[in-house]
Chain A
Amino acid sequence: MYEFEFEKPSTVAEAVAALADEDAQALGGGQTLIPTLKQRLAMPSKLVSLTGIPQLKELSDNGGMLTIGGAVTHAEVAAAAAGSYPALAELASHIGDPAVRNRGTIGGSLANNDPAACYPAAALGSGATIVTNAREITADDYFQGLFETALNEGEIITAVRFPVPEKANYQKFLQPASRFALVGVFAAKYAAGVRVAVTGASEEGVFRWHEAEAALDASFAPDALNGLSVDAGSMIGDLHGSKEYRAHLVGVMTKRAVAAAG
């Protein structure tokens, strides 16, 4: 990797100040950024670690609203949300491998917005709110395409607020090599309606399958999805699956998520 400065502030304000430098970059758990640096594919002037900020490590369950600090690891979410939001805990417990889960953070994952990552499906599928040092962003506004988000330069995810649904489930069909989601579907039933978010599949990144949501609003059952399909044209086609295959899997995984949600 190239040389860089390193700072580990203990407050959000210090972190924001440190990130004001040109080409400074925030470092969460480093599960994407560090390998990228080792490959010399990025050349930040400075890394600002966010894992030393106590505020970002907080996790609270406030009667139907789960608030997770931006630097909370996947393993911590898997443990802490097991009672309050089991579908989210289950998702977190199957991200990567134990090393990834013990280092990787929810803020890091959402800021990176890998098109095959799991957390974007949970955030979008839950209608979560992304809280930053500057503002609050709804998940519907936050995800803006492959590796693209509404975050501004130097903006830090301080917390993510998940409204807890009546029922929910995440189904991940594994890409055989990376074990990221080839297709992952998060389905959640709220009083206000059903949300279905799909990761891994689309060339536009995580997306809501509105047609399925409408059908499931009428009847939250797998059979309600019969005859529905996503447009294969906008799906990813690669070594691991054609566009048509991914479109097909979106249907299969959505049905399975609904069935498993009960």
Chain B
Amino acid sequence: MPKDNGIGASPKRREDVRFLTGAGNYTDDINVHGQAHVHFLRADVAHATINSIDTSAAEAMPGVVKIFTGADFAEVGGIPCGWGVTDRHGNPQQEPRHPIIADGTIRHVGEIVAAVVADTLEQARDAAEAIELDLGDKPAVVDMAAALGDGSTKVHEDLTSNLCYDWVFGNPDDDAVQAAFDSAAHVTTLELVNNRLVANPMEPRVAIGDYSRGTDEYTLHTTSQNPHVIRLLMCAFVLGLPEHKVRVIAPDVGGGFGSKIFHYAEEAFCTFAAHACGRAVKWTSTRSEAFISDAHGRDHVTKIELALDADNNFTALRTNTMANMGAYLSTFSTSVPSYLHGTLMAGNYKTPIVQVNVKTVFTNTVPVDAYRGAGRPEATFQLERVIDKAARELGADPIALRRQNFITQFPYETPVALTYDTGDYVATMDKLEEVADVAGFAARRAESEKNGKLRGFGINCYIEACGIAPSNIVGMLGARAGLYDAATVRVNATGTVSVFVGAHSHGQGHETSFPQVVAEMIGIDESMVDIVHGDTGRVPFGMGTYGSRSIAVCGSAMVRATEKIIAKAKKIAAHLMEASDADIELKDGQFTVAGTDKSVAWGDVTLTAYVPHNYPLEELEPGLEETAFYDPANFTYPSGAYACEVEVDPDTGKVSIERFSAADDFGNIINPMIVDGQVHGGLGQGIGQALLENAAYDEDGQLLSASFMDYAMPRADDVPFYQVDHSCQTPCTHNPLGVKGCGEAGAIGSPPAVVNAVIDALQSGGKNVTHIDMPLSPARVWAAMNG
């Protein structure tokens, strides 16, 4: 009998009622009295010197409040980078200034060149057209290999080159690694591209800056996944404002996928301009602006080599990757191709030697940063593709080859610095073979072939590291932030509970799942518990939501705070029942004294805490409110195995996904329905990357796919009904709930399965195609078949 309350139940998402009935409160729904509007004049060339900007005509236009250029921001800081990577020689990454508004040089299409604040948005746009720019064109740096070549134009004249850092990880001994390859019985090599993506959350970014002259306080409403991080970065590094005078509110946020983690120029601008203009300043991104100003994702070019012995055991793995940073370093950009990618290169396998080489490159393109999975999809894609290619070259069964090399003993220390606490890769593969109906594939293929279609089956495994931690270790690796989280549990006098969390819900369903945990612990109904998030004025300092960290890190803080609440409540109950607090038990919202029939209800105790007439005031403070900060001891390591079945139309190259099966191990699960939904969404984005999405630049640095007319987002009919199973559960060993993250798994684990399946289909049709770069559009598949 499934539970209908608490941990393990699947109540419908309570927040969906307001989202689906138009009662949500998104940032663009907010209007501040007297607000002005800003229109950003954005660069339409990728690289140029700004010889002059003449705003005089524009300033005289109707409704114009003030026009800002780079010069107005000379006295404030640039957008900071939150992670400093040390290169293979021990040197720091090259870190250029990242101005709020371009100061002297334009470095990517979409960069802000001037900002017009006016009474209305249309007036601001009219005035922006009257700004006269005198630009000196410079050659655009777009291709990464060319950017690293001798004599390339530099994106930043003040840096030594376009190289941000040259990093090595795992085994740094080139000779030892080469020796392993020299002695291998077989080496499989694969060169591939991990395509650049645009996150495209349904809600574009919005920022409203407001300033109160009376209190000298600022309020920034913004579409953020982590309002405290934005406040810290903006106050301490950009605008130099006292943190206690700034409140950052991220109300309902319509999807982030990583792209709303980062501190963006528009947020700092609106805050700064509100003070400078003496009135609130609002900006709502258009979709067109989003394409050229939201941080992009992925964009790696990789060569991966896998060495195997005569028995098909993996003996060594070596990768060489170029990763695009774009024109500036976005907030967590440098961590993605380094620690979030290199640490995952062992995958699910006991390969003894792993060497990861990464060069990060500046180009005249939009900055690149974390996108759902962030480094881990890039690692998984290359590893699971090269294993599949090896299996094909060796005539080995791709499932058997993986099984043979699985890590089976836990905890396991990888050669790339992680310690996997738990997992059971054999179990998830067993489950996958069952749910994917591997046995029935031959019959399905025969049926497809009867209809003139090629059918392919592809699998892959994945491991990911969620809830990045602990703070002291990530600090040693270059993180300029802690990665704990916080929760305050405030019990009201009548027994209802408000939980103030540092995590931020922008599609994850926290408002439903977090209360399930507290309700379970106390034994009250979920309807008595609400979550408050997204407001630095209300919640304790938390790090927000990304990297599948919310329940594992913030949920743990919430558990710790609730434990404190229960401990205190038991003391109050003990006093009321004249018993020792060690003898008090809490079950189903009733406090009892062990071995007696005495009891008091949860509500009696909470009322007593706030009306302390009969209360041990000498020993115990009144009230019932506790805060906990939680810094995890380790990452959590969800893992799983995915299978994709495709049909390829040999006449057109069109791929259709016929089946997709997922067997995940997320440890303990709070709300299975929400976990299903998270996996479904991740799979949709992974399939989007594999088949459809591509942020393509031309050689002049113009984004060719700069709208939904050319950037193909997955639609409902591009994806199949999924078979998703998460019955394999090895609970995390080091957090109180035994939970792992589930938000990114689908996006991490699905692209290689799709590509492996398409290659399998083409091979079954007699086509000697060993690789196609994503997205596997009909044109690319057809070209590969007829190449």
The residues of A with any CB-CB pair to B shorter than 8 Å are 1, 39-40, 173, 176-178, 180, 182, 239-242, 245, 248-249, 252
A8 CB to nearest B CB, Å: 22
Chain A residues within 8 Å of B653, by CB: 245
Contact A177 B711 (CB under 8 A): yes
Q: Which of B254-262, B623-631, B775-783 contacts A (4 or more CB under 8 A)?
A: B775-783
Contact A40 B705 (CB under 8 A): no
Contact B783 A242 (CB under 8 A): yes
Query: Residue B9 at the A interface, CB < 8 A?
Result: no
Contact A173 B652 (CB under 8 A): yes
A91 CB to nearest B CB, Å: 19
Contact A245 B783 (CB under 8 A): yes
Chain B residues within 8 Å of A245, by CB: 653, 778-779, 782-783
* A151 to B652 alpha-carbon distance, docked (Å): 36
Q: Contact check: which of B125, B288, B652 meets A249 at CB < 8 Å?
A: B652
Q: Contact check: which of A180, A241, A242, A252 meets B651 at CB < 8 Å?
A: A252
* A245 to B786 alpha-carbon distance, docked (Å): 10
Contact A239 B782 (CB under 8 A): no
B648-692 interface code vs A (CB 8 A; 1 in, 0 out): 000111100000000000000000000000000000000000011
A257 CB to nearest B CB, Å: 13
B692-718 interface code vs A (CB 8 A; 1 in, 0 out): 101010000000110011111100000
* A249 to B782 alpha-carbon distance, docked (Å): 10
Chain A residues within 8 Å of B777, by CB: 176, 240-241
Contact A40-B712, Cβ < 8 Å, known A176-B777, A177-B705, A248-B782: no
Contact A239 B710 (CB under 8 A): yes
Q: Which residue of A lies closest to B694 (CB)?
A: A239
Chain A residues within 8 Å of B654, by CB: 173
Contact B710 A240 (CB under 8 A): yes
Most buried by B among A39, A239, A248: A239
B459 CB to nearest A CB, Å: 25
Chain A residues within 8 Å of B288, by CB: 39
Chain B residues within 8 Å of A39, by CB: 288
The residues of B with any CB-CB pair to A shorter than 8 Å are 122, 125, 129, 288, 651-654, 691-692, 694, 696, 704-705, 708-713, 777-779, 782-783
Contact B783 A178 (CB under 8 A): no
Chain B residues within 8 Å of A252, by CB: 651-652
Q: Count A/B pairs, Cβ under 8 Å.
A: 47
* A252 to B691 alpha-carbon distance, docked (Å): 21
Chain A residues within 8 Å of B651, by CB: 252
Chain B residues within 8 Å of A239, by CB: 694, 696, 704-705, 710
Chain A residues within 8 Å of B704, by CB: 239
Top 7 nearest A-B pairs by Cβ distance?
A177-B712, A241-B779, A176-B712, A178-B709, A245-B779, A252-B651, A177-B710
Chain B residues within 8 Å of A240, by CB: 710, 777, 779
* A107 to B769 alpha-carbon distance, docked (Å): 46
Q: Which residue of B lies closest to A38 (CB)?
A: B286
Contact A40-B778, Cβ < 8 Å, known A176-B712, A178-B708: no
- List 8 A-B pairs, Cβ < 8 Å: A176-B691, A176-B777, A177-B705, A240-B777, A241-B777, A245-B778, A245-B782, A249-B652
Chain B residues within 8 Å of A248, by CB: 782
Q: Contact check: which of A40, A173, A176, A178 meets B692 at CB < 8 Å?
A: A176
* A165 to B607 alpha-carbon distance, docked (Å): 82
B625 CB to nearest A CB, Å: 50
Q: Which residue of B lies closest to A253 (CB)?
A: B652
Q: Which residue of B lies closest to A246 (CB)?
A: B779
Chain A residues within 8 Å of B709, by CB: 177-178, 180
A97 CB to nearest B CB, Å: 10
B426 CB to nearest A CB, Å: 38
* A248 to B696 alpha-carbon distance, docked (Å): 24
* A180 to B779 alpha-carbon distance, docked (Å): 15
* A252 to B288 alpha-carbon distance, docked (Å): 35
Chain A residues within 8 Å of B122, by CB: 1
* A178 to B705 alpha-carbon distance, docked (Å): 11
Q: Which residue of A lies closest to B708 (CB)?
A: A177
B691 CB to nearest A CB, Å: 8
Contact B779 A242 (CB under 8 A): yes
* A240 to B781 alpha-carbon distance, docked (Å): 12
Instruction: Using A177-B708, A178-B710 as known contacts, list a sample of 6 further A-B pairs with CB atoms less than 8 Å apart, ordered by residue number in A.
Output: A176-B692, A176-B777, A177-B692, A177-B705, A178-B708, A245-B779
Contact B782 A40 (CB under 8 A): no
* A58 to B705 alpha-carbon distance, docked (Å): 40
Chain A residues within 8 Å of B713, by CB: 177
B176 CB to nearest A CB, Å: 44
Most buried by A among B653, B696, B777, B779: B779
Chain A residues within 8 Å of B694, by CB: 239
* A249 to B709 alpha-carbon distance, docked (Å): 20
Chain A residues within 8 Å of B652, by CB: 173, 249, 252
A232 CB to nearest B CB, Å: 13
Q: Which residue of A lies closest to B692 (CB)?
A: A176
* A248 to B777 alpha-carbon distance, docked (Å): 15
B728 CB to nearest A CB, Å: 35
B427 CB to nearest A CB, Å: 37
* A248 to B713 alpha-carbon distance, docked (Å): 25
* A180 to B709 alpha-carbon distance, docked (Å): 9
Chain B residues within 8 Å of A176, by CB: 691-692, 712, 777-778
* A31 to B691 alpha-carbon distance, docked (Å): 28
Most buried by A among B125, B708, B712: B712
* A69 to B648 alpha-carbon distance, docked (Å): 41
Q: Which residue of A lies closest to B691 (CB)?
A: A176
Contact B710 A40 (CB under 8 A): no
* A177 to B713 alpha-carbon distance, docked (Å): 7
B779 CB to nearest A CB, Å: 4
* A177 to B125 alpha-carbon distance, docked (Å): 28
Chain B residues within 8 Å of A241, by CB: 777-779
Chain A residues within 8 Å of B708, by CB: 177-178
B732 CB to nearest A CB, Å: 39
Chain B residues within 8 Å of A173, by CB: 652, 654, 778
Most buried by B among A1, A182, A245: A245
Q: Which residue of B lies closest to A248 (CB)?
A: B782
B58 CB to nearest A CB, Å: 15
* A182 to B652 alpha-carbon distance, docked (Å): 11
B432 CB to nearest A CB, Å: 29
* A72 to B229 alpha-carbon distance, docked (Å): 54
A99 CB to nearest B CB, Å: 14
* A42 to B713 alpha-carbon distance, docked (Å): 27
* A39 to B707 alpha-carbon distance, docked (Å): 12
Q: Which residue of B lies closest to A173 (CB)?
A: B652
B703 CB to nearest A CB, Å: 11
Chain B residues within 8 Å of A242, by CB: 779, 783
* A248 to B125 alpha-carbon distance, docked (Å): 45
Chain B residues within 8 Å of A180, by CB: 709
Chain A residues within 8 Å of B778, by CB: 173, 176, 182, 241, 245
* A239 to B705 alpha-carbon distance, docked (Å): 8
Chain A residues within 8 Å of B696, by CB: 239
* A149 to B380 alpha-carbon distance, docked (Å): 52
B147 CB to nearest A CB, Å: 22
A84 CB to nearest B CB, Å: 29
Chain A residues within 8 Å of B783, by CB: 242, 245
* A249 to B125 alpha-carbon distance, docked (Å): 43
* A242 to B779 alpha-carbon distance, docked (Å): 7
* A40 to B125 alpha-carbon distance, docked (Å): 10
Chain A residues within 8 Å of B782, by CB: 245, 248
* A240 to B777 alpha-carbon distance, docked (Å): 8
Q: Which residue of A lies closest to B782 (CB)?
A: A245
Chain B residues within 8 Å of A182, by CB: 778
Chain A residues within 8 Å of B779, by CB: 240-242, 245
* A241 to B786 alpha-carbon distance, docked (Å): 14
Q: Which residue of B lies closest to A179 (CB)?
A: B715
B714 CB to nearest A CB, Å: 10
Chain A residues within 8 Å of B711, by CB: 177
Chain A residues within 8 Å of B710, by CB: 177-178, 239-240
Q: Which residue of A lies closest to B779 (CB)?
A: A241
